Every structure is written in structure tokens, then in C-alpha cells.
Amino acid sequence: MAKDFQAYSDRPSILEVYLKYCESIERNIDRRYSANKFSMSLIGALGVTYGFVNGGGHQLTAEMIVIISAAVFFSITLISLMWFLQILRFRKISAVKHEVAIELEKIMGAHAFSIEAKKLKAGWAVPSYTAIEVCLPSISFLFGFVNIILFFW
């Protein structure tokens, strides 16, 4: 009997596992916010670059302005596409993590995540955070893509 107890005493309890798992959910959300801020910063910096290049007060030729502007819009388009895909990937990871947390709750007899999920589904027709979150990269992508087409038209 002592050997059986010894074998289980080194293992973390299900509550400890659950709490660590909840921490990993929060870390995933924090990484998602950081990635969003980084992408917005890159697109903002490219917008500032475009404004500087097209605002005058510099020694650039018209040809250089067109080349730099096209590069800026191409970069905006590429970054926006990667940002969009990154949001979807983070959303998938979050969904899986919440499903695992619900399974852990079932084992423990607690049901906070599952109750929350049911209430959100039964509540208002509120768009998910991801649906709102993907608007900015989608708009940025379209803006960059349309401007690339206009440059080469």
C-alpha cells in the first residue's frame, strides 16, 4: 500500500494540472495580443514610411517614390495576410485548449468553462472576438492589394 501511495505522490493532482493548463490558456491569449500589437506596429510603420515618401521634403526621384510606395503596399499586403492566418491559428489553439479544460473539469466534477460556453452559445448573437479581430488585417490586406493593382495598372 505504501508503494502505491508513493507512486502517486510524485504525480501532480488533477487540480494542479488544471490550474497549469488554465495558465497556458492565458499565456496563449497574451501571445495572441502581442502578435496583434506587433503586426499593427509593422503596418503603422509602413504607413508612416509611405506618408514620409509621398509627403515631400526629401531628395527622392519620382521613380524612387513609386518603387518605395509599391514595396510598402506589397509589404502591407503580405503582413496582413500572415497576420490573418496567425489569428486563425491562435483561435484554433484557444478552441482546443478550452475543450481540454472542459474535459479536465468533467474529471474534477467542476463545470465553469462548459457552463460559460453554453451561456455564450445561448446568449445574444454576438460575433466572436476572432470575427471582430480579423477585420483589421482583412481591411489592411485589401488596401494593400488594391494599391498594388493600381500601381501596375
pLDDT > 70 fraction of the chain, expressed in percent and rounded = 84
Distances in whole angstroms, Cα of residue 78 to Cα of each of 9, 14, 29, 45, 64: 52, 43, 23, 14, 21
Collapsing DSSP states into helix, strand and coil, what is residue 110? coil
- 61-70: b or e for each residue (b if 16 or more CB lie within 10 Å)? eeeeeeebbe
72 touches 119 (CB < 8 A): no
CB 77 within 8 A of CB 142: no
pLDDT category at 84 given cuts 50, 70, 90 is: very high
Amino acid at 9: S
Please state the rounded mean pLDDT for residues 62-71.
90
Numbers of helices and strands, H then E, in the chain: 6, 0
Cell digits for 83? 497576420
For 18, the grid coordinates are: 488544471
Q: Read off the pLDDT band of 122 (50, 70, 90).
A: low
pTM as predicted: 0.76
Residue 48 neighbours by CB distance under 10 Å: 12
